[in-house]
Amino acid sequence: MLRKLGVLQNIERYAVIPNNIAIHRYTDGRILSEQNLLPHCGSVYGSPYLLIHRADFHYVLASAAKQLGVKIQLNSAVKGVDFDKPGLELDDGTVVQGDVVIAADGLRSQCREALLGGKAPPIPKRTLVYRVTLDPAYLMKHEDLESLVDYPEIHYWIGARSFFALNGTPSNFAVLGPHSHVVFYPLREREPCNLIIVAPDTTTEFENSSKANLSEIKELTKNWEPRIKKMMGMVASSTKWRLQENMEMENWTSKQGTFTMLGDACHAIIPYLYVGLIYKIKYD
């Protein structure tokens, strides 16, 4: 798809190409499974597996669009959709008309509610994602963490029943040990690496995202292998997100055929398989 759009070469300039996906046992870091990505993806699928920061991805796509003469207008919140014209009403009252409207306004899409003709709030999935970034310079100071920076790979540490528990109910969580998984991956060469912890959502108050208390994530990983505990000790701050999906829609396109939807606005899915963006660019 990216090659077809003529942007793959530019995307590759910003992306990191991981060598493997390694799945580790959470208690001792032992490798349970390894999937080769380089050169496997290139030889089997014709393109490498790429990790790219969202801002770099947007930059490359927006630059290519501008070169084609696309006018991008920022700071324009949509408050209404006219499915007949078709057109959009912005929050300052301006009306914008076009040949087609493609709505990609995310999980809390107002356009989805306009198409469905009523409220359609996201559905919480009882799962939290904590995200921290780690400075590679600090990681490089530790012999056992050096290879995480030097040799780009995606690392998963899985706890007992991680994946089952994440799809289960809170009562399952209570009896099945550490029900979380941790993922570590680089996004830009020599820049902060991402580390995320996916864990059961035990909060009662509703918040989409908030600052995480560092003791929460240390507690979650207190029995994990030494490298994880060491990395947790380096964390200065963390944000947590409550994962949500949206209801399945019968149709993403208006009956007039001049309005359609794209991305999380119409098919938000839980991102722990790292497929949100892939679905967005591949299938829409």
Ligand X SMILES: Cc1cc2nc3c(=O)[nH]c(=O)nc-3n(C[C@H](O)[C@H](O)[C@H](O)COP(=O)(O)OP(=O)(O)OC[C@H]3O[C@@H](n4cnc5c(N)ncnc54)[C@H](O)[C@@H]3O)c2cc1C
Residues that bind ligand X (CB under 6 A): 77-78, 104-107, 110, 129, 131, 241, 263-265, 271, 274, 276-278, 280
CA distance 80 to 69: 26
Tokens 């030494």 belong to 226
The SS3 call for residue 264 is: helix
Listed residue (63, 70, 64, 93) closest to 80, CA to CA: 93
Q: Nearest distance from residue 77's CB to ligand X, in Å?
A: 4
The distance of closest approach from Cβ of residue 263 to ligand X in the complex, given in angstroms and rounded to an integer, is 2
Measuring CA to CA, how many Å separate 214 from each of 43, 113, 161, 189, 219? 42, 37, 24, 26, 9
- State which residue, 27 or 194, has the beta carbon closest to ligand X: 194
CB nearer to ligand X: give 48 or 276: 276
Q: Shortest gap between Cβ of 104 and ligand X (angstroms)?
A: 5
DSSP H helices in the chain: 8-14, 40-45, 54-67, 110-116, 136-140, 146-150, 162-167, 170-173, 214-220, 226-234, 264-267, 276-283
Q: How far is the CB of 75 from ligand X (least distance, A)?
A: 9
Nearer to ligand X, 35 or 43 (CB): 35
Nearer to ligand X, 164 or 274 (CB): 274
We find the least distance from the C-beta atom of residue 47 to ligand X, in angstroms, to be 16
For ligand X, the closer CB: 213 or 223: 213
- Residue 229 region by backbone torsions, left for phi larger than 0, else alpha for psi between -120 and 50, else beta: alpha
Nearest to ligand X of 103, 149 (CB atom): 103
- Chain position whose Cβ is nearest to ligand X: 263
Amino acid at the residue 195: L
Instruction: Give me the least distance between CB of 144 and ligand X, in Å please.
Output: 25
Specify the 3-state DSSP secondary structure of 101.
strand
Distance in angstroms (rounded) separating the CA atoms of residues 159 and 200: 12
In this complex, which beta carbon is closest to ligand X, that of residue 23 or of residue 78? 78
Residue 274 beta carbon to ligand X: minimum distance, rounded to whole angstroms: 4
Rounded to 5 degrees, what are φ and ψ at 183? Answer: -125, 135
